[in-house]
Chains A and B, each alone.
Chain A
Amino acid sequence: NAGVTQTPKFQVLKTGQSMTLQCAQDMNHNSMYWYRQDPGMGLRLIYYSASEGTTDKGEVPNGYNVSRLNKREFSLRLESAAPSQTSVYFCASSEMAEAFFGQGTRLTVV
């Protein structure tokens, strides 16, 4: 049982480049989330999708877009990467209770 799968695990981008982080879950959960983790800050919510077809902004949405492609998949797009977006990104899913996290994507913007 894979749970929550994120790709890629590591990525280096140049300032101004774009990329999409992929997330898929196989637990039939309705809700999915994107967080970023910076040193000493804990995890902060970027966007979430309470159910297929809906998305909402979290605490730090600027510079990001999301797509809930179907019930399984929730992608995070950086249209024009900036050094301030250097971080570790986590995807999660839940169904009215316990949330489960992917292994993270370590993104460096140079």
Chain B
Amino acid sequence: GIQVEQSPPDLILQEGANSTLRCNFSDSVNNLQWFHQNPWGQLINLFYIPSGTKQNGRLSATTVATERYSLLYISSSQTTDSGVYFCAVGGYSGNTPLVFGKGTRLSVIA
């Protein structure tokens, strides 16, 4: 099955700093999502981005499907950005279940 690797596993930032999280995957996909798991355990959809670039406020994401990676950019980080960021990918048929990476744990310090 598809393998998903996220890096770095842990990241500590000073408030206001920028960061880039990476997701590598082992096969062609037709679904790629980024999630933020907040300290209460809730999974929040950030981006549905099987290819291309999207932006939402201080967050943006880019997926280069042909090279099998995606990047999540967080600019001007805030303490509320803390939590775990997951990348998840789905294979080539429509409703193939998502396969998750192990996540990047982000801690933003004031």
Report A's interface with B, CB cutoff 8 A.
30-31, 33, 35, 40-45, 48, 50-51, 58-59, 88, 90, 92, 94-101, 103-104, 106
Contact = CB atoms under 8 A, between A and B. Distances in A.
Given A42-B101, A98-B33, A104 B95 contact: no
How big is chain B's contact interface, by range?
A: 20 to 34
Nearest to A106: B41
22 contacts: A30-B95, A33-B98, A35-B100, A41-B102, A42-B101, A42-B102, A43-B86, A43-B100, A45-B97, A45-B99, A51-B95, A59-B1, A88-B41, A97-B48, A99-B31, A99-B90, A100-B45, A101-B35, A103-B41, A103-B42, A104-B41, A104-B42
B95 A31 contact: yes
Contacts of B1: 59
Interface in B75-110: 86, 88, 90, 94-95, 97-103
Interface centre among A41, A97, A99 (most CB of B within 10 A): A99
Contact of B102 (A40, A48, A95): A40
A59 B1 CA distance: 10
B103 A42 contact: yes
B95 A42 contact: no
Contacts of B48: 97-98
A107 B42 CA distance: 15
Contact of B95 (A35, A96, A101): A96
